[in-house]
Amino acid sequence: MPRSASSSHPAPRGAALRELAAAVHAESRRVLSRKLYLQNLLALGVSGLMWPLLSPAQRRCFLAKHYPIWAGLTALRVDPLWDGASGGAQLREYLRAVSTGPLAPIVLAVTTLGGTMWLGVSFRTADVEAATAERVAQEFLRHMASLE
């Protein structure tokens, strides 16, 4: 049975990436060792049963209170996948989008191809304004550029 767990860490300003990764790894290990992910699965099941009974305003409050995830991030390296399947054809661009749901109203889809990073942003217009999604994308790109 696959295990699914949610972990978080405050990410203090100035923290080194290695230090932050070690802290998140330790928290994930704690969640998995104590099987705390089972609570998450139970809560998701109960919220799925309740979801149709809630108004849109109640859904926003419910999510903010009980599942405070605002965004998701998914990454994909295309080069290794494309090189084996392309038959020599050159791919110059690769932009993808991913579906959002009630638990993550905005998702950043990061893809790398030929040394270039492509960023797709999917968001639920009922929860996130286009200007907010644009600011999130620009801030993400600014932070990524600062890593060079």
Residue 4 — very low, low, confident or very high, per pLDDT cuts 50/70/90? very low
Task: Please tell me the predicted confidence (pLDDT) of residue 103.
Answer: 65
Is residue 105 over pLDDT 50? yes
Helix, strand or coil, per DSSP, at residue 17: helix
Of the listed ranges 15-29, 32-46, 82-96, the one predicted with least confidence: 82-96
In angstroms, the CA 79 to CA 94 distance is: 10
Is residue 33 over pLDDT 60? yes
Is residue 38 over pLDDT 60? yes
Q: Are 89 and 111 in contact (CB under 8 A)?
A: no
Task: Please tell me the predicted confidence (pLDDT) of residue 1.
Answer: 35
Q: Where are the domains of the chain?
A: 1-55, 69-148
pTM for the whole structure: 0.49
Of the listed ranges 7-11, 35-39, 54-58, 135-139, the one predicted with least confidence: 7-11
